[in-house]
Amino acid sequence: METEEFDLLVVGGGKAGKSLAMDLAAAGQRVAMVERGMIGGTCINVACIPTKTLVNSARLLALTRRAAEFGITVPGSPAIDLDRLRDRKQDVVGTMVAGQRKSFLASGMELVIGEARFTGPRTVVVTDDAGTRRTLSGTNVVVNTGMVPQVPDIDGLRAADPLTSTSILALAALPESIAILGGGYIGCEFASMLAIMGVKVTIIQRGPALLPREDADVSAAVTAALEADGVSVRLGAAAVSVARNNGTVAVSLADGTTVEAADILVAVGREPVTGALGLEAAGVELSAKGLVTVDEFLRTTAEGVWAAGDVAGSPQFTHASWNDYRILKANLAAGPGTQLRSTRDRLVPYCVFTTPELGRVGFSEEEARATGLEVRVARMPVSAIPRARTVGQLDGLWKAVVERGTDRILGVSLLGHESSEVIAVVQMAMLGGLAYQQLRDAVIAHPTMAEGLQLLFSDAFLEQ
Ligand SMILES: Cc1cc2nc3c(=O)[nH]c(=O)nc-3n(C[C@H](O)[C@H](O)[C@H](O)COP(=O)(O)OP(=O)(O)OC[C@H]3O[C@@H](n4cnc5c(N)ncnc54)[C@H](O)[C@@H]3O)c2cc1C
C-alpha cells in the first residue's frame, strides 16, 4: 500500500486537532485529519453542547413552574416533551456538525473518515466502514483522540447494561427513577437536570463529598441545591454489585443497603482512547493510566509526534484543548532556537452546569492553604446581589481567596445564577494581576451578577 505524505497528520478530530488542521491547511500546508465518525469531536456531538442544550430546557421548566411568582399565568402544568427536547438538541448539534464539516472542507484539509492505527513512526493505517485502507504519514503528527466513558469493574455492572453520558442522550423515554454512579461534575450535571425534569435521582458517591475538588462548604452548597430539587445523595457509598431484573436496577452498597431505580447511569470518569491506537509502533509512550506522555510543550516521546486535549492529560475541558491548539500552532511554527510555548501555569477555569451553576477559577481555599499560602477568605450568599433579586435566583454561595499581604486574587468558587459568565471577569482580573481592591473599586454596570464581585471583596464579606 502506497504511503500518502502530508505536512501535518491529525489523528482524531478533537478541539485542538481540528483547529490546527483548519489553520495549517488554510495556510497552504498539506493536511490530513483522520476522524472515526464524530465530525467536530466529543464536545459538539456527545458532551458540552448537547448536555448544555438539555440543561437550558430543564432550567426553563423550573422557571415556568414558578411563572405565577413572576406575574405570568401559564395554563396547565408545564411538562417535558422528550421528543421535542431531543429534536431541539439534535438540531443544535446537527447545525454545528454541518458547519464544522463545511469549515473543514473550505480550509483545504483532507478529511479522512475512518479508524486510525499507528503502524510505524509518524504513520497510520486508516480503515473505513467499508474496510478500505489507506496509509498516511505526516512530517508532524498530532494525536487528539480524546476520552470515552469508563465503566468500572463492579460485579454485574456491565451485564446490567448501564447508561453512559453518551447513551443517555438518545433515551426514548425518561426513566421514572435513576441511580447515578459518581458525584463528579458529569454526574452532578445529569442529576440536576434529570431531577428538575421529574426523574427520581439517587447519586451514589464513593468519596465523602460531591465534586471532590471543591472546598467542603462549596460542595455542601451544591449538595444542598441538588437535594432541594429532590436528589437523594448517598456519600461514602461504595457500590459492590449491580443487578438488573424485571425493569429494576439494584445497586448493592458496601454498608449492606441497596439503591433501587429504573435505570443506572455510570459517571465515574473517562478513559483515554489509546488502547487500540498502536502508539507503541510509533515510539509514543503512555502513562500508567493510558494517557499519551507529553512534556510541557505537548511533545510526545517520538520525534515529530505531538498530542493534545484529554488524551494528553490536559484538563478535561474543551477550552483546555483549544488552548493546546494555540500552543501546538506556535510550537510547530517555532524555528530552531526559538523558545517553545508551554502549558505550564496556565489558568484554566471551569464550570459545572448544575442549577444553580458553579464557576471556578484558580485556587480553592483548601488548595491555597495546601500550598502554604497565607489567605483571607470572602464568603457571600448570592441573595446579597441585587440582580439575583430581580431575576428571583437567590440560591448559591460565592467564595473568594486572596493572598494576605499581596492582596492578589488566588481564586474564586462562584455557585449561583450566571456564575459561568461572571467567572471570566475574575479570570481576567487574575490574568492582569489586579489586586482585589481594583476589582472591588471598579465601576461595574448595575444591576448585573458581575457587580456582586464588588460586594464579595468588600469588608462586609472578606475576613480581615
Ligand atoms: C457529558 C459531558 C459533558 C461535558 N461538558 C463540558 C463542558 O460543559 N465544558 C467543557 O469545557 N468540557 C466539557 N466536557 C469535556 C469535553 O467534552 C472534553 O474535554 C473535550 O471534548 C475534549 O476534546 P479533545 O480535543 O480532547 O478531543 P475529542 O473532542 O474527544 O475528540 C477526539 C476525537 O477523536 C476521534 N477518534 C478517537 N480515536 C480515533 C481513531 N483511532 N481514529 C480516528 N479518530 C479517532 C473521536 O471520534 C473524537 O471525535 C464534557 C464531557 C462530557 C462527557
Question: Which of 51, 163, 188, 318 most suits a substitution to test ligand 1, by most atoms within 8 Å of the C-beta?
Answer: 318
**Residue 111, beta-bridge partner list:** 33
Question: What is the grid cell recorded at 224?
Answer: 444542598
**Which pLDDT belongs to residue 136?**
98
CA-16 nearest atom, ligand 1 = 25
Residue with the smallest CA separation from ligand 1 atom 53 is: 47
- Residue 401: CB partners within 8 Å, gap ≥ 6? 362, 363, 364, 365, 368, 375, 376, 377, 378, 409, 410, 411, 412
Q: Percentages helix, strand, coil for the chain, rounded to the nearest 5?
A: 35, 25, 40
Residue with the smallest CA separation from ligand 1 atom 9 is: 48
Which protein residues are within 6 Å of ligand 1, measured from CB?
11-16, 34-38, 41-43, 47-48, 51-52, 115-116, 144-146, 165, 186, 273, 277, 309-311, 316-319, 321
Question: What is the grid cell recorded at 327?
Answer: 500552543
Distance 116 CA to ligand 1 centre (A): 16
Question: Which of 56, 93, 100, 145 most suits a substitution to test ligand 1, by most atoms within 8 Å of the C-beta?
Answer: 145
Distance 44 CA to ligand 1 centre (A): 8
CA-277 nearest atom, ligand 1 = 41
Can you give the pTM of this predicted structure? Answer: 0.97
| Contact status, residue 358 vs residue 415, Cβ threshold 8 Å | yes
Instruction: Measure the CA–CA gap between 24 and 32, rounded to whole angstroms.
Output: 10
Q: What is the DSSP letter of 159?
A: T
Asked about 319 being catalytic, the answer comes back as no
Distance 195 CA to ligand 1 centre (A): 26
Secondary structure of residue 274 in the 3-state scheme: coil
Selecting among 37, 155, 446, 463, the annotated active-site residue is 446
**Which pLDDT belongs to residue 1?**
81
Residue with the smallest CA separation from ligand 1 atom 51 is: 47
Distance 145 CA to ligand 1 centre (A): 8
Distance 388 CA to ligand 1 centre (A): 34
Instruction: Measure the CA–CA gap between 323 and 384, rounded to whole angstroms.
Output: 35
Distance 69 CA to ligand 1 centre (A): 40
If we measure between CA atoms, which residue out of 180, 168, 228 comes closest to residue 204? 180
Question: Which of 9, 317, 419 most suits a substitution to test ligand 1, by most atoms within 8 Å of the C-beta?
Answer: 317
Burial 390-420 (b: 16+ CB within 10 A, else e): eeebebbbbbbbbbeeeebbbbbbbbbbbbb
Q: At what angle do helices 48-65 and 82-107 cross, to 10 degrees?
A: 150
Residue with the smallest CA separation from ligand 1 atom 19 is: 317
**Which pLDDT belongs to residue 284?**
98
If we measure between CA atoms, which residue out of 89, 354, 82 comes closest to residue 198? 82
Q: Mean pLDDT, consecutive 10-residue segments, the chain of 464 residues?
A: 96 98 98 97 98 98 97 94 96 98 98 98 98 98 98 97 97 96 98 98 98 98 98 98 96 98 98 97 98 98 98 98 98 94 97 98 98 98 98 98 98 98 98 98 98 98 96
Cα of first residue to Cα of last residue in the chain, in angstroms, is 72
Distance 273 CA to ligand 1 centre (A): 10
